[in-house]
Amino acid sequence: MRVIRTSSAARAARRIVTAAALGGGGLTALGALTYGLLMAEAQLARKIVGRPHGAEGPPSDGVYGEEFGFSGEPIRMAFLGDSTSIGLGMKRPDDTPAVIIARGLAAVAERPVQLRVLGRSGARSADLEGQVDRALEADPDIACIFIGANDVTNATPPAQAVRHLQRAVRRLREAGAEVVVGTCPDLGTVRPIAQPLRWITRRWSRHLAAAQTVAVIEAGGRTVAFADILGPEFEANPAEMFGPDRFHPSAQGYLQAAYAVLPSVCAALGLWPEPEPGRVEGSEYLLAAMAVEESGSEVTATRVAGRESGPQGRWASLLRRRSGPMPST
Decide if 105 is inside a domain.
yes
User: For residue 5, is it within any domain?
Assistant: no
**Amino acid 36: pLDDT:** 57
299 in any annotated domain: no
Specify if 321 maps to a domain.
no
Nearest 5 degrees, angle CA 270-CA 162-CA 127? Answer: 90
Domain count, the chain: 1
pLDDT digits (tens, 9 = 90+) for 279-301: 777 777 777 777 777 767 888 88
Smallest Cα–Cα separation from 203: which of 187, 219, 191?
187
* 101-122 tens-digit pLDDT: 999 999 999 999 999 999 998 8
DSSP calls for 157-223: -HHHHHHHHHHHHHHHHHTT-EEEEEPPP-GGG-TTSPTTHHHHHHHHHHHHHHHHHHHHHHTT-EE
Choose the most confident range, by mean pLDDT, from 120-134, 176-190, 198-212: 120-134
First-to-last alpha carbon distance for the chain, in angstroms, is 28
Which domain does 220 fall in, by range?
11-280
| Residues present in the chain in total | 329
Phi, psi at residue 63, to the nearest 5°?
-105, 125
Residue 249 has pLDDT above 60, yes or no: yes
Residue 329 binned pLDDT confidence (cut-offs 50, 70, 90): very low
Q: Is this model's pTM higher than 0.85 or not?
A: no
287 falls within a domain: no
Q: Is residue 295 part of a domain?
A: no
The number of CA neighbours under 13 Å toward the Cβ of 51 is 7
HSE toward the beta carbon, residue 283, CA cutoff 13 A: 18
305 within some domain: no
Asked, for residue 285, whether it belongs to a domain, the answer is no
CATH code of the domain in which 55 resides: 3.40.50.1110
Segment 5-9 long-range contacts (CB within 8 Å, at least 24 positions apart): 5/282, 5/283, 5/310, 5/311, 5/312, 6/283, 6/286, 6/311, 6/312, 7/282, 7/283, 7/285, 7/286, 7/289, 7/312, 9/286, 9/289, 9/290
Cα(248)–Cα(252) distance, rounded to whole angstroms?
11
| pLDDT tens-digit readout, 47-100 | 554 454 456 789 999 999 998 899 999 999 999 999 899 998 888 999 999 999
Q: Would you name the residues annotated as active-site residues? A: 83, 245, 248
